[in-house]
Amino acid sequence: MKNSVLIREFVSLPPEAQKQVMDFVAFLKTRYPEKQEKKQKKSHSLEKEPFIGMWQDREDMKDSSEWVRNMRQKEWSGNGLDEKNSPGYGHSH
């Protein structure tokens, strides 16, 4: 059966029957799980990406949170921002 015919038949059913079809499809998917091949192809290890570890030798980035805080402080104080225009103005910490 072609997909277009199947879709046309499905759409012609009343909403309750469409729900039953969807429930049956969900049931069939549990009985016939995807092949392992497909699942393995979809999984992707970030560890193999070239960008992972690219800054591992940079001493200034050993603590990434501290590095971000320092960069923000430099940018926000170095661009002539006064207290009123600085990010977080008016928020209590």
For residue 90, pLDDT over 60 is answered with no
Residue 51 has what pLDDT?
79
For residue 89, pLDDT over 80 is answered with no
Q: Classify burial at 67, counting beta carbons within 10 Å of its beta carbon; exposed 0-12, middle 13-18, buried 19 or more.
A: middle
Which amino acid is present at 54? M
Q: How far apart, in whole angstroms, are the C-alpha atoms of residue 20 and residue 32?
A: 18
Residue 46 has what pLDDT?
79
| Domain extent listing, the chain | 3-40+48-85
State pTM to two decimals: 0.37
